[in-house]
Amino acid sequence: MAISTDEVRHVARLARLALSEGELDTLCGQLGQILDYVKQLDRLDTAGVTPTSHAVETGTPFREDVVVPFPDKEALLANAPDREGDAFRVPRIIED
């Protein structure tokens, strides 16, 4: 199944991956190959087959919606690449 460089570029944008031209080329070939391979599933008639949602069916577990404060906020924030006080700082989102 041929997949165009433009399609790969589109998927990379959806996946938030800034791929190089070289990577796009390589992936174009490899994704095509892999998609060709998985197309073998089309040989199976799956009309009326329920898709698997859980490998082991146990019903839906419920719990109360209770807020549990994390005991060590500072340890969480310490992993931030860029922070200001208790906030994560990111590049500007809204244009002038």
Partner 1 sequence: MATIPVHEWTLLEAAAAVRAGDVSSRALTQALLDRIAALNPTINAYVTLLPEAAMARAAACDEAQARGESLGILHGVPVGLKDIFCTKGIRTTCGSRILGNFIPPYDAAVTERVLGAGAVLLGKQNMDEFAMGSSTETSFFGKTLNPWDTARIPGGSSGGTAAAVAAAMCFAAMGTDTGGSIRQPAALCGVVGLKPTYGRVSRYGMVAFASSLDQGGPLTRSVADAAAMLGIVAGHDPRDSTSLDVPVPDYAAAVGRDLKGLRVGLPKEYFAGEGLDLEVRAAIGQALDALLAAGAEAVEVSLPHTEYALSTYYLIAPAEASSNLARYDGVRYGHRADGASSLVEMMSRTRAEGFGPEVKRRIMIGTYALSAGYYEAFYAKAQKVRTLIRRDFDAAFDKADVLLTPTAPTPAFKIGEKTGDPLTMYLSDIYTIPCNLAGIPGISVPCGMSSDGLPIGAQLLGGHFREETVLSAAAAIERAIPLPRVAPFEG
Binding-site ranges for partner 1 (CB under 8 A): 3, 7-8, 11-20, 23, 27, 30-31, 33-35, 37-38, 40-42, 44, 46, 49-56, 58, 61, 63, 70, 72, 75-76, 78-82, 88, 90-93
Minimum CB distance to partner 1, residue 61 (Å) = 5
Looking at beta carbons only, is 2 or 15 nearer to partner 1?
A: 15
Residue 76's alpha-carbon distances to 30, 72, 84, in angstroms, are: 38, 7, 13
Burial class for 47, CB neighbours closer than 10 Å (0-12, 13-18, 19+): exposed
